[in-house]
């Protein structure tokens, strides 16, 4: 009777060990699958963030291009105005330089 009881306890312990090993294996597999899923989710999130950042940069780039295109005629007008003013003063400046050289000679 004691021997049968001892064998029953040993069988139960052996069965419990097998259950523990199976549970550990199952837990490792679950952990591995979870880590793989987390890695995949992080990769997808990074790709989405990169795409969103690129879209934002493209929008800003287009906005700046539009502003530059809109201000281009005004910028050209101001440049032409400045150039015309410089051309108007050119004759006078050349005349003053020539007079100064003529009057001061080779000092």
pLDDT tens, position by position, 26-81? 999 999 999 999 999 999 999 999 999 999 999 999 999 999 999 999 999 999 99
User: Does the pLDDT at position 105 exceed 80?
Assistant: no
Position of tokens 């259950």?
19
pTM: 0.53
Q: Who wins on pLDDT, 3 or 25?
A: 25
Structure confidence at residue 16 (pLDDT): 92
Position of tokens 């150039």?
83
- Report the alpha-carbon distance of residue 79 to residue 87 in Å, rounded: 12
Terminal Cα distance for the chain, rounded: 135
Structure confidence at residue 102 (pLDDT): 86
Query: Using alpha carbons only, how large is the chain's radius of gyration in Å?
Result: 44
User: Does the pLDDT at position 83 exceed 70?
Assistant: yes
Q: Token pair for residue 92?
A: 């006078």
Position of tokens 């069988």?
11
Structure confidence at residue 8 (pLDDT): 85
Mean pLDDT, residues 14-18 taken together: 92
Structure confidence at residue 106 (pLDDT): 62
Structure confidence at residue 3 (pLDDT): 86
- Report the alpha-carbon distance of residue 54 to residue 60 in Å, rounded: 10
φ, ψ (nearest 5 deg) of residue 105: 65, -135
Tell me the torsion sign for CA atoms 84, 85, 90, 95. Answer: positive
């Amino acid at each position: 009777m004691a021997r049968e009881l001892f064998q029953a306890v040993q069988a139960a312990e052996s069965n419990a060990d097998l259950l523990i090993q199976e549970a550990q294996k199952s837990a490792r597999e679950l952990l591995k699958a979870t880590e793989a899923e987390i890695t995949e989710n992080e990769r997808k999130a990074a790709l989405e963030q990169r795409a969103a950042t690129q879209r934002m940069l493209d929008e800003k780039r287009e906005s700046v291009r539009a502003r530059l295109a809109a201000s281009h005629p005004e910028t050209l007008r101001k440049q032409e105005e400045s150039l015309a003013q410089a051309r108007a003063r050119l004759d006078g400046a050349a005349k003053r330089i020539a007079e100064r050289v003529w009057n001061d000679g080779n000092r």
